[in-house]
Structure 1
Amino acid sequence: MKTVEQLDKKLSKRYINLDPGGYFIIYIDSSQDLICAKYFTNIINDKGLAVDPESREVISVKNKVTRNADQIFTARSAKELCIKIIENNNCPITRLDHAAYLGREFTKAELALTQGRKYIQD
């Protein structure tokens, strides 16, 4: 029987359709006790890859990309952050699987923040 950690690693490697509404870079600001989510718009091309709407270049997941965030959301808890983003009249999330992923990541970030650990986005 697989452990939860083994199952999580396997599930993290599966193919997912990207959200045409955009993507988030999540991090914690320990000095302010905040979970932060930088939101970026994108376009999904015919190959299913995220493309910068301005440069029309594919956004690399392996190399650091320097872009200005369209919006930055901050909160003290995962729940507060979800409410700020999802209950916003202009919610940028268009896929349920993306919303579920963000909820999981915000919870991981909250745990890391409250336990004084490092957070790495999956």
Structure 2
Amino acid sequence: MTEALKTKLQGIDDQLSKRFIELDPDGYFIIYIDPEAGLICADHYTNTISEKGLALDPETGEPIPVKGGIKRSPTHTFKGRTAKELGMEITEKVNPCPLSRLDHALYLGREFVRAELALIRGETYIQD
């Protein structure tokens, strides 16, 4: 892939990332890799959504900060060796599925692939 094409594609993604995204009332995921175990991991956390569209901690009713700041325990940690295995673990083996929005599922799929590539390449993975 040429540098010009990479730049063009990155520009498309950057522009799309600026759109409004409605939060999933069924919660959110923190994704990371465990290189030693060869796993992609996704911690699931519950939340409630305020009238203003903010994610709230269901225990305290306080807004959940974007950049950390509070320590919460995940409701579940999902693990897979590949993006596909992890996606199936979340969507096919858990009832009820902890996702209620298709855009959230698509986002997770993209992130799982990015995490898998980082794992394969021995690179650091940072969730977008």
Q: Which runs of 4+ in 1 moved over 4 A?
A: none
Q: Which amino acid aligns with 1:84?
A: E
The correspondence for 2:118, drawn from 88, 93, 112, is 112
Residue in structure 2 matched with residue 91 of structure 1 by the alignment? 97
Give me the whole-angstrom Cα distance separating, in 2, the residues matched to 1:38 and 1:63. Answer: 14
Distance 1:67 1:86, change over 3 A: same
Once structures 1 and 2 are overlaid, which stretch shifts more, 74-83 or 10-19?
10-19
Matched pairs, number: 122
Once structures 1 and 2 are overlaid, which stretch shifts more, 82-91 or 6-15?
6-15
By how many angstroms is 1:29 displaced?
A: 0.5
How many percent identity over aligned positions? 56
TM-score, normalising length from structure 2?
0.90
By how many angstroms is 1:64 displaced?
A: 3.4
Report the structure number with the largest CA radius of gyration: 2
Unaligned runs of 5+ in 1: none
TM-score, normalising length from structure 1?
0.95
Give me the whole-angstrom Cα distance separating, in 2, the residues matched to 1:64 and 1:121. Answer: 17
* Aligned-residue RMSD, C-alpha: 1.3
Unaligned runs of 5+ in 2: none
Check if 1:8 corresponds to 2:13.
Answer: yes
